[in-house]
């Protein structure tokens, strides 16, 4: 039986985020982790307006950070 090792969910965006924006994913995860007082979509809007990320990339980063907090 083969195991599907393909990355799924928000983390599947991480390689393209690193390539497009030129920073390691840990940079973005740390940045969002510091935005605890903001709601999900406020964090997404911050990444888009202040750092020029696209909606899908910003949402993937925020979703990953929020999921890691709840686990």
Residue with more model confidence, 24 or 8: 24
Q: Give the range among 1-5, 42-46, 62-66 with minimum mean pLDDT.
A: 1-5
* Angle in degrees, 0-180, between the axes of helices 55-70 and 25-33, rounded to the nearest 10: 60
Residue closest to 68 by CA, chosen among 6, 7, 11: 11
- pLDDT of 5 above 80: no
pLDDT of residue 1: 46
**Structure confidence by residue, pLDDT tens digits, 9-45:** 889 999 999 999 999 999 999 999 999 999 999 999 9
pLDDT-based confidence at residue 2 (cuts at 50, 70, 90): low
C-alpha to C-alpha distance for 15 and 45, rounded to whole angstroms? 21
């Amino acid at each position: 039986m083969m195991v599907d090792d393909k990355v799924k969910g928000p983390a599947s965006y991480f390689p393209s985020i690193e390539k497009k924006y030129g920073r390691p994913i840990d940079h973005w995860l740390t940045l969002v982790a510091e935005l605890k007082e903001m709601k999900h979509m406020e964090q997404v809007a911050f990444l888009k307006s202040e750092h020029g990320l696209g909606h899908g990339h910003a949402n993937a980063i925020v979703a990953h950070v929020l999921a890691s907090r709840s686990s």
